[in-house]
Every structure is written in C-alpha cells, then in structure tokens.
A and B are shown apart, each in its own frame.
Chain A
Amino acid sequence: MTRKHRRLMILGLCALGIGSATALTLTAFQDNLVFFRSPSDIAREAPPGGRAFRLGGLVENGSVERTLGNDGRPNASFRVTDGANTIPVTYTGVLPDLFREGQGVVTLGRLSPDGTFRASEVLARHDEAYMPPDVADALRRSGHWNPNQGPPPAASTWNTRSGS
C-alpha cells in the first residue's frame, strides 16, 4: 500500500465518520428543522396552548373573507388545509401579493382555545411551476387546472405547450 493509498483510505474513513455523524444529528433534530407544521401535524399533536408556531398549507378554495377593521386595518380570515385536515386562520394586516385561494401559505401565530389560529405574519409559499400567462389561461380554459384548488398538473402535460 503506497502512501497515497493510505491517505485516500484515511480520507474515506473521515468522510464516512463525518457523514454519518451529520446524518445522525440531522435525524435527531428532525422536528426542529421543519419550518412549519401542517394542519394534520397539529391535529395529531397540538402544541402546548399559547405557544407560537408556524402553520403551513394551502389556502382552501372559497374560504377567504376580507373585511376592514374599525381602525382601518384590513382583516382576513381563511382556512389552511393539507387535504386531510383544515384549520381556520385570522389575520390583521397586509397580505403578500401572491396570497390567493389555492396558494401555499406559511403563517406564524398562536392557536386560540376555540381552535382558530391567530396569525401575526402570513407569508406566501409558491410552488415550483413557472409558466407564461397564456399557457396558464389555456390550462384553465380547457378545464385541466383551477388555480384556486392547488398547484398545476404534472409539468410534462404543459411545459412544451403553446398558449393558444
């Protein structure tokens, strides 16, 4: 075994050690590494009362109601869903431009005793699909996709399609 082979071996062993140590650490901290919890996570195990956490999911179709508060600040109430479970959310403030029904959102706030999530921050979380407006229109007109119900269909069905 030459010195180069020995060095290569040592390096390989170190890489294996560091790799498995990192993998173990990340697995151990799995719960702390998630940015938000889904309605199903909350249904399974509700966080202790009054604790702030992030709730994420899709804005349910037909659930958004916007009103104007007495102080002139906009209020919004909507439901966040992950398909299986749904949590009602209230929020006072300006919503991000991308906020709409069927869009992903991540909200920061507290769960009140009546089961409503009172959000102090709402962030929009868009999907990984990028398409020109005319292609999106064509998908909508042909009934292949209703943006209010969630992300677009599989990319292979539209990513080479022309708009008209």
Chain B
Amino acid sequence: MRPALGGGLHRFANPGRFLRMTGAVMQWLWGGAILVLGTGIVWGLAFAPPDWQQGETVRIMYVHVPMAWLAMGGYTGLVVVSILSLVWRHPLADLAAREMSPVGAAVTGLCLATGSLWGKPMWGTWWVWDARLTSVLILFFLWLGHAALVRAFDEPERGARAGAILALIGGVNVPIIKFSVDWWNTLHQPASVTRFAAPGLHVDILYPLLTCALGFTLLFAALILARARSAVMERRIRGLELASARRHDSGRVPQGAPA
C-alpha cells in the first residue's frame, strides 16, 4: 500500500494537471504579494516610528528580517522536498528543489548585504566572524552549492539525487543559525520576535515588520512557482521538438512541410 502523503502528492505529478492547477493560483499569488508587500513597505518606511536609539536606520529591518526568515524557512522547505525526493521519488519535489535554490541564494545574499549595510552604522563594522554571521554565510554557500550541483550532471536525476543529499546534510545548519545567538555570545543580538517571551519590538514596529514578512513570503512563493511552471513548460516544448525531429528523421513528413 502506498503511504497517504506520497500518494496524495502524486496527483500533481501529471504536468498538465500541475500547470492547470498552479495557473489558477498564480495570479492570486502575484496579486497578494504586490498588495501585502506594497502595504508593508509603505507602512514600514513611511509611517512606522524610528527606533529610540537607532533612529531611521532601523528601517533596514523591514527588508533584512524577512530575508533572514525566508533564507532559513526556504532552506527548511528545501530539506522537506529533498526528503520527498529521496524517499518517495516524487518528480515534482526534484523540480521544486531545483527552482528553489537560486531564489534562496538571492534571498540569503540580500540578508547578508542588508545586514552588512545595517552593521556599519550601528555596530561600527561591515562584517565580523561571529557565530550568527558565519553560519548565515555558510547557508548562502549551501544554497549556491545546491543550485550548482543539481545542474552539474548530464542526467537530471543524478543531479537531483546529489542535490537532495547536500540539502539534507546542510540541514544541520538551520538550527545552528537559529540558536547561535543563544548558545554562544555573538555581536548579533538575540531574537526579538521568534522567542518565548513577548516580542522585543513595540507593536508600531512589529506589525509593519510582520506585514513585510508576509509580503516577501508571498513573493518568494510566487517566484518559485513561476520558475517551476516555466521549467515544466520548457520540458514540454523540448519534448515536442524532439518528437517533431524524430518524425522528420523517420521521413514520415516530407522535407520542408510544416511539422
């Protein structure tokens, strides 16, 4: 008997059904992302109060923190699809993993860049090798490595397999990033939102931050789904081209006639 999880997901393995079902979702995803992110950015940059000691510089947070959450949350997603790929051999899991890593690398790169821009005026340095910053840099290299590895093989299946194994091994880094600020002392301050105590942000700063985070998450999902859809379509076009070339070769269609 097939396990319920894998079996249920196998309905989406049909490319035609995948394109139909995601096509209906796409416009809502784009629309929601633009609406929520637009609201969050305007709220955060124009209406939210400055911080009492950091002043206006604190507004970098409205980009930096969502990017950090997406970098780690996205990588957790990559670990999940890698398990689906290795255990259930789900073709969509390979596709999702392949399309996730470039976006994940971009998001992690933005997290590092905005963090650096924020660190210089506040801490007094662009970069230090403390446990939090270093583990996020490792995450950036894991994303890049995954993106490169899945594309490095002639047979896509072998690339997907190697990428999934790399993603799973790199998974140990996610809890290290999250708890680095608690386990060791670092220059980076501990978590303000994702902690057991009440959030260390005033609600006037917290709410626009959560809105931005939701908006960036919708955008992240929309980008990955759009990439996955175009990959499926690309594969279909290649299949059609191959089929038509084969028809030419076998001579069933006369030379010069429209295929």
- Using CB atoms and an 8 Å cutoff, list the residues of chain A in contact with chain B: 4, 7-8, 11, 14-15, 18-19, 22, 26, 30, 33-36, 38, 56, 95-98, 106, 121-137, 147, 154-156, 158-161
Contacts and interface: CB of A to CB of B under 8 A. Distances in A.
Nearest to A158: B202
Contacts of B130: 35
Q: Which of B52, B83, B121, B183 counts the most chain A CB atoms within 10 A? A: B52
B51 A132 contact: yes
Q: Which of B6, B51, B54, B190 counts the most chain A CB atoms within 10 A? A: B51
B124 interface: yes
Contacts of A26: 176, 183
B198 A155 contact: yes
18 contacts: A4-B6, A11-B87, A11-B168, A34-B185, A35-B130, A38-B185, A95-B124, A98-B54, A98-B122, A98-B124, A126-B53, A126-B54, A127-B200, A130-B58, A133-B50, A156-B198, A159-B200, A159-B201
Given A131-B202, A132-B49, A132-B205, A124 B124 contact: yes
Nearest to B181: A128
Q: Which of B54, B171, B185, B189 counts the most chain A CB atoms within 10 A? A: B185
Nearest to B204: A132
Nearest to A56: B185
A33 B202 contact: no
A129 B192 contact: yes
Contacts of A35: 128-131, 184-187
A122 B187 CA distance: 11
A126 B189 contact: yes
A128 B190 contact: yes
B152 interface: no
A132 B184 contact: no
B54 A7 contact: no
Task: Give the 4 A-B residue pairs with the shortest CB-CB distance, closest first.
Answer: A96-B124, A132-B49, A136-B52, A156-B198
Contacts of B245: none
Contacts of B176: 22, 26
Contacts of B192: 128-130
B3 interface: yes
B50 A132 contact: yes
Nearest to B131: A33
B120 to A, nearest CB: 9
Contacts of B226: none
Contacts of B129: 35
B169 interface: yes
B237 interface: no
Contacts of B197: 154-156
Q: Which of A123, A128, A147 counts the most chain B CB atoms within 10 A? A: A128
